[in-house]
Structure 1
Amino acid sequence: MIRFLMPTLAVFAVGGAIAATANPARTALLDGYAAQAKAQSATFAGFSAERGRALYLGPHTGGKPETNACAACHTPNPTAQGRHQRTGRAIEPMAVSATPKRFTDPAEVEKRFDRDCPNVLGRACTAQEKGDFITYLAGQ
């Protein structure tokens, strides 16, 4: 009985994880970034969670030394609550599994990228970087 129960539970666990990341608003946002990335680069072949992870964890040069990675404020574990570097204010976890509404409001997402990319990278994020970042965190 246990032998048959474990694969069934595994299927439900995977299905639940997929359902947690699937959101029409997030999908539309990623589709928009994909269209922009294709327009910016003929070699664009899709988003990468691994590149998104590297972007999240850093470290990066060019931005502010105290915020040389997203993880500087958001912690290396994206499912954990972060703290604003300067004010100490609590920040909801970045992982979609912990904060399901993350990356569903296009205006809010752009506002955060516009503010945070220059602080971390010293420049604006590309559409591919935005898509990679969201792809990584949607799987966390």
Structure 2
Amino acid sequence: MIKPLLYGGLAVLGMASAMAKADSPASLMAQYAQQAGVPVSGLSASRGATLYRTEHPGRDGQAVSCAGCHTANPAQAGRSRVGKRIEPLAPAANPQRFTDAAKVEKWFRRNCQDVLQRECSAQEKGDFIAWLSQAR
């Protein structure tokens, strides 16, 4: 009788611990601000919007931007180059966005390389999330 209660209690504690460690846009902004050596208040939503909308020369010479696949409104779903649906980027429209640091890093690495031909800086990542956190 005690073993099932003990194991059940440990499972609940494990879930609570995992939930307490869940990432959020705010926690990721704080991490990127710290990496960039600026306070969170030093992150700029307007720089994030500029990063999102600015076109850059792509690998094939065609102009590319984040908005090219994610749409001008990040609260709307977009389409990849091969036509696959991309869920909205804005956390207000997609609460799952920016809740897993490993996923966030994976997609920043991939998309920054595709659009900018380089990795994004910590400042750019923080600015980007700051802007998307305000998008409705």
TM-score by length of 2: 0.75
**1:94 and 2:94 are equivalent in the alignment:** no
Match of 2:115 among 100, 120, 124: 120
Question: Percent identity, aligned pairs only?
Answer: 48
Q: Residues 34, 54 of structure 1: CA spacing in aligned structure 2 closer, same or farther, 3 A cutoff?
A: same
Gaps spanning 5+ residues in structure 2: where?
1-21
The count of aligned residue pairs is 114
Gaps spanning 5+ residues in structure 1: where?
1-22
2:29 paired residue number: 30
Per the TM alignment, residue 63 of structure 1 is displaced from its structure 2 partner at its CA by: 5.2
Q: Is 1:79–1:93's contact at 8 Å kept on the other side of the alignment?
A: yes
TM-score by length of 1: 0.73
**1:82 and 2:81 are equivalent in the alignment:** no
C-alpha RMSD of matched pairs (Å) = 2.3
Q: Is 1:66–1:72's contact at 8 Å kept on the other side of the alignment?
A: no
Per the TM alignment, residue 60 of structure 1 is displaced from its structure 2 partner at its CA by: 2.0
Q: Which has the larger radius of gyration?
A: 2
Q: Post-superposition, which runs of at least 4 consecutive aligned residues in structure 1 deviate over 4 A?
A: 62-67
